[in-house]
Chains A and B, each alone.
Chain A
Amino acid sequence: MQKSDYRNMWVYIEHDGKTAAPVGLELCCELRKLCDRTGDRLYAVILDRLPGAEEEKVKDCGVDGLIRVHGSGYAYFNTDAWANAFTVLSRKYNPSAIFVGGTVNGRDFAPRFAVQLDTGCTSDAMELDWDSETGDIQFIEPAVGGKIMAVITVPALRPQIGTIRPGTFPYAPTGRKAQIEEIEEEISFDPEAIRCRHIDFIPDENDPEMDIANADCIVCVGNGLKDSEHLERYRTLAKLLGGKLGCTRPLYDRGILPYKLQIGQSGVMVKTKLYLSFGVSGAVNHTAGVDADVFVAVDKNPEAQIFNYCDYGIVGDMDEVCDELIAQLQARR
């Protein structure tokens, strides 16, 4: 295999038939920058029909081309048809890299077509770089619970495949290319051959407390929390500040708060005005998920990494500081 035979980068545009998931657009924006360095062309790959207005959004993200795939087998997401489509397309066009949003379904099918193509696959990169000597993309991601950053490459195989979590890169369209190539492909997958079929979908009840991605204020509780007995005061504080409660991964792992409140790379990426962390150590996986105008950190360990990310820090007992905040905020009213 000659690496130089493989050119151009692809982004999969996940959609539900009505709107494109933000992660695909985010990836187009980020990869535009990378392609400008590598000289690759950037293509968005769309399976089944996406309304025109949504396609326009994709085009605004600086893609050089669209690959539209039509055919049977795409009525509902299924690993078989999706993986097959990418394998067929990739064998035909030999892209250098394929990026897929790290949604539940993206993470379901991307590693699978990597095996079909017998190539390397990475997940959850937070940064993308390029080594001009080897021509390899460097997927940079936190590892071992955020203690280290690891550079991962696919040195000998192509395409290079990466799944990237939603919210990792900003949605910042830089403008539309004058010429956008449009490729139509017919790839059908026999619906009878789909091995795992959609039967039904039951939407979650909409609980506003569970929707923290864009809350104005977030009170985030970390592993310093002694037990669930001590949790209520943080809810009280969040209410007083007109904000919402969130947590770090260990609290989800400890079964104290639900996954939807887990902030960080493997949970929810949040954008907020005021962020207060209590008992959060500051692992990269968590801080990578926080975009705050003002960041306040409270932890008993003065060496905690979280103080490197905050605007203001208090070293002390988290419960005591929280109680003080509640008392003084109440006194101000």
Chain B
Amino acid sequence: MLNILVCVKQIPDIDLVKMDPETGNLVRAGVPTLTNPLDLNALEAAVQVKERYGGKITLITMGPPMAESTLRECLAVGGDEAVLISGRPFGGADTLSTSYSIVMAAAMRGKFDLIFCGKESMDGATGQMASQLAERFDAAQISCCLSVDAVGDGKIRATRALETGREIVEATLPCLITVEKDRFFGRLPNLEAYLAAKKAEITVYTENEIEGLDLQKIGVPGSGTIVPKIYPPELPEPGQIIRTGSARSDVGRLLELLAEKGAL
């Protein structure tokens, strides 16, 4: 039976995040959260593998207590167990320290044969997390996976997307896989699973409960990068806006201007 880990993240709906023009800080308060969509694709890939080859899926995330709702959403569509890493000292982490925290917490739950991750998160969007987790798990990695073609004999065969075509690869287990979004459309939970997930027990690890955790390697102290400054993008001066009163004459004027420029 395969022991499968799926890493998920709760993110703010970035369409609704605004920058406070006074302070220059991001306003996240009151912004609805969602489960990173690409992580749901990863979960679906994991569930398909579980259905085909048998296995147990453990979900793991790091975040504030409300990230539990993301775990419940994932439990409803095929997760068996869920782990939340939560606590102030974990805050402000970059990928270097987050990957450390996740791997240390996952070790509390045993050894994993397959680890599935979304390609990137819609908010941070570094796309680095999966490779760094793979390194820390001492696992092989298959990024941009289009299909899982076979699992068995301590190996996984999969197809990945490159810029100019598809590459077929074979990796030894343990292996970490990031999936392409188009291929693993998440399923709807059925009612029983949905209701059961609401009541399911979720294991919460604080910094005190993870064995061997080096506090210097988590949160801000453990991060390799910092963000000393954010600022609104500088905008160039606006172009010439054509306002003639109707779409028809606007377009007429535009075509004249483009013809003058020799752009047609």
Q: Which residues of A contact B (CB under 8 A)?
A: 79-80, 83, 103-105, 107-112, 114-116, 118-124, 142-155, 157, 195-204, 241, 253, 255, 259, 266, 273-274, 284, 293-297, 302, 305, 307-317, 320-321, 324-325, 328-329, 332
Contact = CB atoms under 8 A, between A and B. Distances in A.
Contact of B168 (A200, A274, A293): A200
B128 A148 contact: no
A114 B175 contact: no
Contacts of B140: 79-80, 195-196
Contacts of B126: 111, 121-124
Q: Which 5 A-B pairs have the closest CB atoms?
A: A120-B224, A195-B140, A111-B128, A196-B171, A203-B165
A128 B210 CA distance: 38
B224 A157 contact: yes
Interface in B159-192: 160-172, 175, 181-182
Interface in B88-127: 94-96, 99, 122-127
Interface in B15-42: 15, 17-19, 26, 37
B62 interface: no
Contacts of B144: 104
Q: B interface, how many residues as a size bin?
A: 35 or more
A149 B125 CA distance: 14
B212 interface: no
Looking at chain A's contact residues, is the secondary structure mostly helix, strand, loop, or mixed? mixed
B226 to A, nearest CB: 6
B143 interface: yes
Nearest to B159: A202
A307 B236 CA distance: 9
Contacts of A253: 37, 181
Contacts of A147: 14, 17-19, 26, 232
Nearest to B229: A151
Contact of A153 (B157, B181, B225): B225
B196 interface: no
Interface string B218-242: 0000011111111111111111111
Interface of B: 14-15, 17-19, 26, 37, 94-96, 99, 122-129, 131-132, 134-136, 139-144, 157, 160-172, 175, 181-182, 223-243, 247-248, 250-252, 254-255, 257-258, 261, 263-264
Looking at chain B's contact residues, is the secondary structure mostly helix, strand, loop, or mixed? mixed
A114 B171 CA distance: 22
Given A148-B230, A150-B227, A204-B165, A114 B96 contact: yes
B128 A121 contact: yes
B33 to A, nearest CB: 14
Contacts of A307: 238-239, 241
B238 A313 contact: yes
Given A115-B96, A151-B230, A328 B236 contact: no
B258 A314 contact: no
A316 B142 CA distance: 46
Nearest to A199: B168
B232 A79 contact: no
A104 B163 contact: yes
A120 B263 contact: no
Contact of B167 (A150, A195, A201, A312): A201
Nearest to A273: B263
A316 B170 contact: no
B223 to A, nearest CB: 7
Nearest to B141: A79
A82 to B, nearest CB: 11
B250 A316 contact: yes
B132 A114 contact: yes
A313 B94 CA distance: 40
A3 to B, nearest CB: 13
Given A116-B135, A332-B255, A294 B239 contact: no
19 contacts: A109-B131, A112-B134, A115-B135, A121-B96, A121-B224, A147-B17, A150-B227, A150-B229, A152-B227, A195-B175, A197-B170, A199-B167, A199-B169, A201-B168, A202-B167, A293-B263, A312-B257, A314-B250, A321-B250
